[in-house]
Amino acid sequence: NAGVTQTPKFQVLKTGQSMTLQCAQDMNHEYMSWYRQDPGMGLRLIHYSVGAGITDQGEVPNGYNVSRSTTEDFPLRLLSAAPSQTSVYFCASSYSGLAGSGANVLTFGAGSRLTVL
Amino acid sequence: GENVEQHPSTLSVQEGDSAVIKCTYSDSASNYFPWYKQELGKRPQLIIDIRSNVGEKKDQRIAVTLNKTAKHFSLHITETQPEDSAVYFCAASRGNTDKLIFGTGTRLQVFP
């Protein structure tokens, strides 16, 4: 069981470039999400998905796109990178089920550090 | 949407003392309140959670209390140890398939 796998771990982009952060989980979790972490601002939700084919916006969705074509994968796309998107990005997934069964407990990936120059 | 406020942003205690971190939430429909610990350079990990059908939950030195009327919940760490030093995040959700919204974090430092 690899858990939640994020790639790449580090990336440097120039303003205006596009890229995709990959996220894959092998736990058959229905729920997947992307957060960004900035100093003093905690973990802010970008987008989330409750199942294949379903995505929704979080707190800070502007500048990011997501898709969920399979249960396992939830890529995050930066369409035109800006310096304000310099951050550490975390993908997380959880099982949606009965309370007490581990439902809603997020398993996080190791994070992807993105720098936009 | 849900808004979670967390205080204090930093907390320094002596080893053996207790630490308390408080959070308030805005959405009265929220019913799931987890706490995550993030050590330096690591990913966040769940340490304890509580659902709205209980008022308090304990796990060894860690406890969480919930006041649904006042819409606030707190993390209590007793007999703190240097390895408790980390950033702690509270969060709130309506549960099940709903999104989880985090507070801004508390950096806890435990001095020997």
pLDDT in tens, A96-111: 766 566 778 999 999 9
Chain B residue closest to A113 (CA)?
Answer: B41
Chain A residues whose C-beta sits inside 8 Å of any chain B C-beta = 30-31, 33, 35, 40-45, 48, 50-51, 56, 58-59, 90, 96, 99, 103-106, 108-111
CA angle A51, B47, A56 (to 5 degrees): 25
For residues B103 and B89, the answer to whether their CB atoms sit within 8 Å is yes
pLDDT at B54: 81
Say whether A106 and B102 touch across the interface (CB within 8 A). Answer: no
Residue A63 predicted with pLDDT over 70: yes
Place of tokens 């800006």: A82
Q: Is B26 helix (H, G, I), strand (E, B) or coil?
A: coil
Query: Which of B3, B5, B96 to mutate: most A Cβ within 10 Å?
Result: B96
- Gap between the Cα atoms of B56 and B66, Å rounded: 6
CA distance B84 to chain A (A): 18
- Tokens coding A39: 């100093």
Q: Which of A19, A24, A10, A6 is nearest to A68 (CA)?
A: A24
Chain B residue closest to A109 (CA)?
Answer: B43
pLDDT at B45: 97
- Gap between the Cα atoms of B84 and B51, Å rounded: 24
- Mean pLDDT, residues B88-100: 88
pLDDT digit string (tens) for A6-48? 999 999 999 999 999 999 999 999 999 999 999 888 999 999 9
- Gap between the Cα atoms of B31 and B94, Å rounded: 5
- Tokens coding B1: 């949407």
> Is the alpha carbon torsion for A48, A65, A55, A32 positive or negative?
negative
Q: Which amino acid is at A47?
A: H
